[in-house]
Structure 1
Amino acid sequence: MQSKAKITAIGSYVPECKLTNADLEKLVDTNDEWIVKRTGMKERRIAHEYEFTSNIGYNAVRNLIERFDQSIEDVDMVIVCTMSPDFQTPSVASLIQAKLGIKNTGAIDLNAACAGFTYGLHVANGLITSGLNKKVLVIGAEALSKITDYEDRSTCVLFGDGGGAVLVEYDEENPSFIAGHLGSEGEHGKNLYCTNVANQINGETLISTGNIIQNGREVYKWAVNTVPRGMASLLSKTTMSLSDVDWFVPHSANLRIIESICRKSSFPIEKTLQSLVYYGNTSAASIPLALDKAVCEGKLEIDNKLLLYGFGGGLAHAGVLINWTVA
């Protein structure tokens, strides 16, 4: 079905507090050289004690409103993509809806972990193109510091907090969405999970600490094989090739993963956008943060073709090919 949805505005927010590699040297047995060599990260932002995902997402929307002079009173759906909600219920989307003061809107959380934002865009495009909604806020926001073990050097060097938001509106004449691709391999979910309840995946009992637990080696192997195949599948639904893509925007998991994906797909790293160097891995927020960073740096132009690809916990992945439409 031909898309009828257009991205019309973008905004972002990160907490003020910075956690540098030098700071991490004081917490665990690590050093700046080791972290940069293995991840490419130098800093990450950390929410303060009383700052949660709903605050981060709300501030990203406020940034969008102020920069693009947008009215959100007629927004009829709020989708928050997150794996670090304030509560199990109410949803982060409902909390943000209340902070924004918009009454006549649906509000849902979507948890596809690091693939959350691209899944959220798929859902927004489907809702608008089908005629069910006219104006949707898609927010990727995380407070991962709340679920990070700062005694585990394999994970605490990775994760940071932040959020990004886009406004998606009905526009039959100039839609943003070209094609999409979705996938999941839940049988490998044990390689990246977070639970505070004793449970099992495929008969294997998982540690229930309430913090993120990751088998980095297995996630790396899965990502560098899965994402290039997904990119090819996505493009096969169009008349385009990778050479027609102006910018590749993968989930900012780790610079070494991004470099491997680019090598395997023969895509130039110079045409790749990321947000990890100064924000770390922000899960569902990493792609909108990378997009907004590029907007602020003047890199994105109207009608640029962007290939966005999220991948992570689930293990779920999702790609979307878009025509950039934010002036």
Structure 2
Amino acid sequence: MTVRAVVNGIGHYLPDRIVPNSAFEKTLDTTDEWIRTRSGIERRHFAAEGQTTSDLAVRAAQNALDNVGLKADDLDALIVATSTPDLTFPSVATMVQQKLGMTRGFGFDVQAVCAGFIFALTNANALIVSGQAKRVMVIGAETFSRIMDWTDRSTCVLFGDGAGALILEAQDGNGKSDDRGILSADINSDGRYRDMLYVDGGVSSTGTSGKLRMQGNPLFRQAVEKLTSTAETALEKAGLASTEVDWIVPHQANIRIIQGTAKKMGVSMDHVIVTVQDHGNTSAASIPLAMSVGVAEGRIKVGDLLVSEAIGGGLAWGAVVLRW
């Protein structure tokens, strides 16, 4: 028998404040049409004043627990993927533990920017397969509105805040590609591309949180190439082909990147979960948010084969193949 990390429970949370594209027309040289055409984004959610990343993460986590009737102490581990923590330390994961009332197990953060959830899933899978944990919650949570330069129309209109949570638990499989759970993963990074997407602040450099900076066009070209490659590599590792995929659940950064990647993989957009129009780019939160919406809408069903891929600052990128 083969141990698999199988999805058992999912949930998400979005802040109450919804910001349409038209809101930016008052302060920037931009329009709703300009933003929609270049990104596919129509609106996004922003956290309220005083609302932190851990606050969003807790709401998503509780929704995931409620989804399957579990309590926080039923978890062995909790991993939070985020680039916008409440504090330099302790980790957001330990804050979520405390707020959920989780008194056992362990928690830690993973920082791989927009690819963070893929890296966190890979870590959770390794913990389960190695026997270190039997039930792991993986959360992607971000408050990117805190690191925006509101004078930069090329970046500040693209991002939003939110959180999504997934519960993985150990189950026996037969070791074949028809098993439920995570079937394969592929993760990568290359620091030579750092300047394409970064934040110009930090504890040991400026002593400030800094603001997000991005080179849009070069990043777009890297994204389509690397997302396609990592997805195909992950499928090959699982012994599967793109023709067998029921759903691509991609990082929701830009509709043109999503469309370009699906086209190169030979997958129809009818088989792609798209939420970028409603959420914007929520970085590490975007994949679990999209998964949760896909399940809530009845599209993602037990037994479906999913491929999720993401790329973020670093550059860091990767993909996970899982059967729901």
Normalising TM by the smaller chain, what interval? over 0.9
2:170 corresponds in structure 1 to: 170
Aligned residues: CA RMSD: 1.7
Q: How does 1:199-218 map to 2 (within 5 A)?
A: 210-218=210-218
Amino acid paired to 1:47? A
1:184 corresponds in structure 2 to: 189
Q: How many equivalent pairs are there?
A: 318
Instruction: State the percentage of identical aligned residues.
Output: 38
Q: Secondary structure at the match of 2:162?
A: strand
Amino acid paired to 1:189? R
Distance in 1, matches of 2:260 and 2:33, equals 20
CA-CA distance at 1:113 after TM superposition: 0.6
Amino acid paired to 1:184? S
1:158 corresponds in structure 2 to: 158
TM-score by length of 1: 0.93
CA-CA distance at 1:95 after TM superposition: 0.5
Distance in 1, matches of 2:203 and 2:60, equals 34
Amino acid paired to 1:106? F
TM-score by length of 2: 0.94
Cα distance change of structure 1 residues 96 and 198 upon mapping to structure 2, 3 Å threshold: closer
- Deviates most, 227-236 or 31-40: 227-236
Q: How does 1:51-130 map to 2 (within 5 A)?
A: 51-130=51-130
CA-CA distance at 1:172 after TM superposition: 1.5
In the alignment, does 2:200 pair up with 1:195? Answer: yes
CA-CA distance at 1:296 after TM superposition: 1.0
Q: Is the 8 A contact 1:192 1:212 kept in 2?
A: yes
Q: How does 1:1-327 map to 2 (within 5 A)?
A: 2-173=2-173, 175-197=180-202, 210-324=210-324
Distance in 2, matches of 1:87 and 1:115, equals 21
1:237-287 per-position Cα deviation (integer Å, ceiling 9, x unaligned): 133110000001110010011111122222211111122101100000000
CA-CA distance at 1:66 after TM superposition: 2.4
1:46-104 per-position Cα deviation (integer Å, ceiling 9, x unaligned): 00111010000000011112232222213121100001111110110011000011111
Cα distance change of structure 1 residues 322 and 26 upon mapping to structure 2, 3 Å threshold: same
Q: Is the 8 A contact 1:219 1:312 kept in 2?
A: no
**Which segments of 5 or more consecutive residues in structure 2 lack a partner in the other structure?**
174-178
Cα distance change of structure 1 residues 269 and 65 upon mapping to structure 2, 3 Å threshold: same
Cα distance change of structure 1 residues 209 and 288 upon mapping to structure 2, 3 Å threshold: closer
**Which segments of 5 or more consecutive residues in structure 1 lack a partner in the other structure?**
201-205
Q: Secondary structure at the match of 1:78?
A: strand
CA-CA distance at 1:165 after TM superposition: 0.2
Distance in 2, matches of 1:8 and 1:199, equals 40
- Deviates most, 1-10 or 143-152: 1-10
Distance in 2, matches of 1:108 and 1:284, equals 15
